[in-house]
Structure 1
Amino acid sequence: GRRLAKVVDAASGRFEGVYASPWPRATQSAEIAGREMDLDNIRIKRYLHELVPLVDPALPEFQGFPMGLEATPTEGRLFVDRQVEKIRSRFFRAPTRRSFVFVFAHGNLIRYLVARTLKLPYEAWAMMDIAHASITELRVYASGFEALISFNDTGHLPPSMVTTA
């Protein structure tokens, strides 16, 4: 939380708020960070919850995939796509002024947002490891161009606190 407050102090632009998944780990992290930044208005959004891993065993990316996950049914893929699009419609609009938000969410959702920003298929998530409490920065420019600025940054954490699922 304290380290995140320093990130806010160093950022340029208008701070527009903290959003969090309703799942306990994300909500608790947002509340801790909010306290450190003297914010008490954490916006809990149901659509920021974790999403299922999308798996298509026919894709070359999944040949030899170590987890042995079953193929995702069509309805699961459609659900993920709708959820990601809902989030993108809220947070990925071309800005009229420089601003930023903090979103406390979960690994698969973050990986899907990164994949979309990089114009990759959702299945690219399988090649992205992500640590708990890491920071990923995605930027949308006034032109609508999107860029991955940083991914899975854990420099704000002591090494003993860097963990993955």
Structure 2
Amino acid sequence: MSELTVDLQRVFETPGIPDDNAFGRWAQRAWLGEDSSEVTIRIVDADESAALNGEYRGKNGPTNVLSFPFEAPAGITVPLAGDLIICAPVVEKEAKDQHKELEAHWAHMVVHGMLHLQGYDHIEDNDAEVMEALEVQLLKQLGYGNPYESEEAEQDS
């Protein structure tokens, strides 16, 4: 199994942000590459997330996770997967609004972002189905439920 080094940057602190080991475990599980690599996960506030979201995606306001795959210049081989920028206030609000466990939502954001770094996306419906199925599988391996099932659906089963 290939190793993934996680560089965690905590530039925003609030209760409920998981410990470093959790981030490492989640990112490693979602690293599907055959070669070892490195990822930077940066925990930010709403202002930094909004600034990056506006600059790189042309969208207003903060978002839960931004993924920046590393694109090496021609002829340069560096084992970097890229960067994940995760907005703690947005993750916390989404978990509360969606009635999800906070830790499970953090895990989902890391897995989701790691898949983006590896070329997965959810723009087209068929790509979204593939990516979501992989997220559900990886999160299950980590001990978390399906993040796309509503709480009502879980109560009905």
In the superposition, the TM-score normalised over structure 1's length comes to 0.31
**Greater helix content:** 2
Larger Rg: 1
- Give me the TM-score of the superposition, normalised by structure 2: 0.32
